[in-house]
Chains A and B, each alone.
Chain A
Amino acid sequence: MIDVEKACATIAVALGVETSCVRPESILGDLAELDSLSLVEIATALDCDFHIRLPGEALTDTLSVNDVVRMIERAPRQ
């Protein structure tokens, strides 16, 4: 099982927002003003914290944190 709180914390740090702002139902694009590199930063941070290789292209700003957690569960382990 993926630690959802840990995923929220990782995403918060990658986006530079308060951890308390990131909840499982939060939509990535609503958390901060995302630019072309924000999703790369989130993917890299998740890869590092969860020892996975996230299929980056599947990450979009319309996904919720819960969606991302499901992606982490399916991602190949490093």
Chain B
Amino acid sequence: MNLLPQWERARYQLLDSLAARSMGGTNAYVHMISRVEEVLQRERSRTAINRISRALDLDPRDSRQIYRQCLASEAREEADSARLLVSGQPIAEAVEATPPFSPVDGPCIYITLHWGSPMITFLYLRSVLGIPVRLIGRPLDKANPLPPGKMRWGQRKVEWMEALTGETFIPDDGAGALQARTELLEGRSIFASVDVPAQPTSRSRVIDLFGEPIRIASGLLRLAALTKVPLVPILGHSCGQKIHVAHEEPIPAAREQELAESIGIWLRKILARQPDQWWLWPFVHVEKP
């Protein structure tokens, strides 16, 4: 019997009834979601655990532990968002940057990963630090294949984020690319995930993931090359009571391939240090030889 549809519905109901109520509820939600997802999505879990083992040269037991933490990381982003949304707690109280954040002089593309708490990191930049930055995201429209429960939660979250920042998302389509270009040329910045697996119709570049060639969508890299703005890697993740945000030195504008290589170096550095926050272990597109 396929329990996934029922589970998917229940999971997003639990965000309100459990995760949003308190930090204890958040922790309970995270623990439960990661365990159930691991079991229900058996094939996905196997793919991820094997990939982690190969990439980091770990035995399957350690890799499984890391994958559970990855599932917990994704659930925690949802749960933290739900709690902040319901409680109205200021983002400034929930997030800290150490060392203190030093904004880039001029426009840039803040690049993040499906790692830790990307959306709360964006909220920190925009609504706490007041940096003029807009987020590029996939529209939650009919073409988006998200299951209904996740779609409803996504729409609530987007409304909340847009209300907090006073800005709408930029869609990840042709019109959005032109909009993003205008933002950058007029001195504002862009925030987006750079580890998006490439779709067959989108442009992509191959990067090395610990010996395995993987394809990532390269639109952001092209945009940086065309507008000559730097990429600024930035990540946030939950450390107990607070979400910790840190950024790296800007990657200067360069040709697409050079930027892709820089992204590869950054991704490997992050995953060698903290592989247990990356949600995409099971989803990367491996380049066939």
Contacts and interface: CB of A to CB of B under 8 A. Distances in A.
A36 B181 contact: no
Nearest to B202: A35
Contacts, number: 48
Contacts of B86: none
Interface in A37-66: 37-41, 43-44, 53, 55-57, 59-61
B203 A40 contact: no
B13 interface: no
A76 B219 CA distance: 27
Contact of A56 (B182, B202, B222): B182
Contacts of A61: 174
Interface range for B: 10 to 19
Interface of B is mostly: helix
B239 interface: no
B174 A36 contact: yes
B182 A57 contact: yes
A34 interface: yes
Q: Report which residue of A37, A39, A44, A61 has the largest number of chain B beta carbons within 10 angstroms of its beta carbon.
A: A37
Interface in B182-197: 182, 185
Contact of A39 (B177, B202, B203, B227): B177
Interface string A18-34: 00000000000000001
B223 A37 contact: yes
Nearest to B222: A37
B177 A37 contact: yes
Interface in B176-222: 176-179, 181-182, 185, 201-203, 219, 222
B129 interface: no
A57 B219 CA distance: 17
A61 B177 CA distance: 13
Contacts of A35: 174, 201-203
A33 B132 CA distance: 33
A56 B174 contact: no
A38 B203 CA distance: 11
B58 interface: no
B265 interface: no
A39 B178 CA distance: 7
B272 interface: no
Given A41-B226, A44-B226, A36 B176 contact: yes
B181 A56 contact: yes
B175 interface: yes
B173 interface: yes
Contact of A43 (B175, B181, B202, B219): B181
Q: Which 6 A-B pairs have the closest CB atoms?
A: A56-B178, A36-B174, A44-B226, A36-B177, A40-B177, A56-B182
Given A36-B202, A44-B226, 20 more contacts: A34-B174, A35-B174, A36-B172, A36-B174, A36-B176, A36-B177, A37-B177, A37-B203, A37-B223, A40-B181, A40-B223, A41-B222, A43-B178, A44-B227, A56-B181, A57-B178, A57-B179, A57-B182, A59-B178, A61-B174
Interface of B: 172-179, 181-182, 185, 201-203, 219, 222-223, 226-227
24 contacts: A35-B202, A36-B172, A36-B176, A36-B177, A37-B174, A37-B177, A37-B203, A37-B222, A37-B223, A39-B174, A39-B177, A39-B178, A40-B178, A40-B222, A40-B223, A41-B222, A41-B226, A44-B181, A56-B179, A57-B179, A57-B182, A59-B178, A60-B175, A61-B174
